[in-house]
Structure 1
Amino acid sequence: MWITDAIRRFAQRGGRAIEIGPGSGIYIPRLKEIFSEVYVADCERIYLEPIEKRHANDAAIHIVLDDITASGLPDKHFDLVLCTEVVEHIPDSRAALLHIARILKPEGILVLSTPQRYSFLELTARVALSKWLIWFTRLVYREPVMEMGHINVMTATTVQAQLAAAGLRIIARHKGGLYLPGVAEFLGTFGQRLAARLEPLIRNTWLDGILWTQYYIADRLRIQNCRSPREGS
């Protein structure tokens, strides 16, 4: 997985990491392999409770209720910030990235991923989960189908501009995840193999906007040129 490889490649052992919006917490064990302290933050207590119970006896895990768009986390505090599949759920991703830059140490690293606005999966989901067709989608899948909650799906150009505006410099990037409507649902293993073969042919071409996810590694070497979100206007 690209995220796990990126953490291992760019992170320095020891120090302090934080994951913003941990979901089920699948990256926490990976972060613990590298960092002495691992913070887990979310703006909703309900998402933190299962992780808090699972790691109740682990003094290296710190659970924090915090809204990254108006964060109370301390300046220059973390060696690594992990924010994967989160900013698409946040209306003000600019504020989120400004605070992420602020809480990173000068030599800190951000690992970020978010869907692409015009990926086949996002476009298909907008149609299939629309109020006119969601009944049909549930019929096809024969199981509950929920809306994705993606309210801020950005193009690569927009994400890169927001990173730059936050004073973050991209040092590595990647795009991946080819979803082919119909093929994924009805062609089984053959469909998966077909998508796996086509994905590297599409990546780094003018067509790579159809891949589902964009990934970035960024540092804050230029943050001194940008205003902190805590400063007045």
Structure 2
Amino acid sequence: MNATEAELQETIYNSRNLTRRWLHQSRKCWVDNAIERVSFRGMLACEIGPGSCIYLPKLEKNASQLYVTDIENQHLTVAFSFSKKSEKVVVLEDDITASKLPENFFDLILFSEVIEHIPNASLVLNNIVRKLKVGGILILSTPQKYSFIELACKIAFMPIVIDLVRKIYREPILETGHINLLTEREMRKHFANQGLLVVEAYKCGLYIPILSEFFGKFAVKVQKYLEDKVKHTPLSHILWTQCYILKKNEIHTD
């Protein structure tokens, strides 16, 4: 993993900016809890695109065997390092757009903050569903297309502006690489097309520009309050992350 990427992975969950830290940790908290709630003895699990591998401890604890796949060497390196601590963990280089993983095999697949980096959501979801057993669970999270933070990023990463942003945050800031942001409606259409039933849906992560950058604990308090007010309203699209627990239907048509 190159120095810049390593620094970024370290800082986003432990950022000196309290809003940035809260945005990432609140998503992690939901995913960790979701893993616990759907797990059972003897479970075969897989994480596709583990990034900095923050969910591997929770998955390894709850699975009888855990597969970890990615195409990025820097992420595989972190996963291989983790696998040395547990015989239950198998690390593979695998591209989910042309996956060689066994079909109808996994009880649980985690796919968090990955689909927005891949152009063809339908292809990816179809491949994932193929890997799940009937009744298998997919935990998926992805940014919302029109969330405040994604809209702000379009400005923040403009030339000159990004230099100012880095001075304000005083920690690594890299472009998101989000090339396929989807709305909730678009996501649910994909799920229906692939025979995935929505068991649970959740949204989190309100970012308010300026307030987030300069008002510390007060900003987090205000944003938490407003997040709770809007998450079940038509304004919920302004929240950053949409999270789902999905179940493979008994009938899956390719």
- TM-score of the superposition, structure 1-length normalised? 0.93
1:65 partner letter: E
Give the structure 2 partner of residue 85 of structure 1: 113
Residue matched to 1:164: 192
Q: Report the CA distance between 1:43 and its aligned residue.
A: 1.6
Match of 2:236 among 203, 208, 228: 208
- What corresponds to 1:197 in structure 2? 225
* SS of the residue 2:218 aligns to: helix
Q: Distance in 2 between matches of 1:158 and 1:222?
A: 23
Post-superposition Cα deviations, 1:153-207, rounded to whole Å, max 9, x if no partner, equal: 1101111111111121111101111111111110111111111111111111010
Aligned amino acid, residue 244 of structure 2: Y
Asked if the contact 2:144/2:184 (under 8 Å) is kept, the reply is yes
Aligned to 2:158: 130
Normalized per residue, which structure has more helix? 2
1:19 maps to 2:68 = no
2:76 matched to which residue of 1? Answer: 48
Q: CA deviation at 1:140?
A: 2.7
CA shift at 1:50, angstroms? Answer: 1.9
Contact 1:178 1:211 in 2 (8 A): yes
3-state SS of paired residue (1:79) = strand
Contact 1:172–1:216 (8 Å) recurs in 2: yes
Q: Deviations over 1:14-59 (max 9, x none)?
A: 2210001111111111112211101101122331012202322421
Check whether the contact 1:101–1:223 (CA below 8 A) recurs between aligned residues: no
Q: Structure 2: 5+ residue runs without aligned partners?
A: 1-28
Aligned mates of 1:60, 1:212 — CA distance in 2: 33
Q: Report SS of the residue matched to 1:88.
A: helix
Secondary structure of 1:162's counterpart equals: helix
Tell me, in whole angstroms, the C-alpha distance in 2 between the residues paired with 1:133 and 1:86.
26
| 2:97 aligned residue (49, 65, 69) | 69
Write the letter of the residue equivalent to 1:60.
K
2:154 corresponds to 1:113: no
Gaps of 5+ in 1: 228-233
Report the counterpart of residue 177 of structure 1 in structure 2.
205
- Residue 207 of structure 1 aligns to a residue whose secondary structure is helix
Stretch moving more, 101-110 or 39-48: 39-48
1:151 and 1:89 map into 2 onto residues whose CA distance is 5
Separation in structure 2 between the aligned mates of residue 32 and residue 105 of structure 1, nearest angstrom:
19
How high is the sequence identity, in percent, across the aligned residues? Answer: 42
What's the secondary structure of 1:81's corresponding residue? strand
* Root mean square deviation of aligned Cα: 1.3
- Contact preservation (8 Å) 1:166, 1:223: no
* 1:29 paired to 2:29: no
What's 2:24 paired with?
none
Q: How many residues align?
A: 226
Matched residue, 2:6: none
Match of 1:230 in 2: none
Assess if the C-alpha contact under 8 Å between 1:16 and 1:80 holds in 2. yes
Aligned residue type for 1:84: S
Q: Which runs of 4+ in 1 moved over 6 A?
A: none
